[in-house]
Amino acid sequence: MTGYKEDRTQEQRILDLLRERGEAGAFVYEFMTPRPAGLGIAQYNARIYGLREKGYIIENKEPGHFVLKDGVKLMQTSFV
């Protein structure tokens, strides 16, 4: 049987970590370090790109340091 954290997608796990950390953000090594100490996500850039595509504002404060801006998701509008 798997627990809550294991059932989440890689994007969801990154988003959870960034939300938990707030302005302190998270570092690359925390994404890449194997579980249970880290998230175990080698393709973290693809997951962050996916979150950005979904409207989340994730900033690189310095190389390898990511912060979710105000926990905000931009509204995406489509025009016909």
Percent of the chain whose predicted confidence (pLDDT) is above 70: 80
- Give the CB-side neighbour count of residue 39, counting CA atoms within 13 A: 24
User: Structural domains in the chain?
Assistant: 4-73 (1.10.10)
pTM confidence score? 0.82
Distance CA 62, CA 71 (A): 19
Q: Return averaged pLDDT per consecutive 10 residues of the chain, 80 residues in all.
A: 67 97 96 96 97 95 93 59
Position 42 scores a pLDDT of 96
| Dihedral pair phi/psi, residue 16, rounded to 5° | -60, -45
- Determine the pLDDT at residue 70: 78
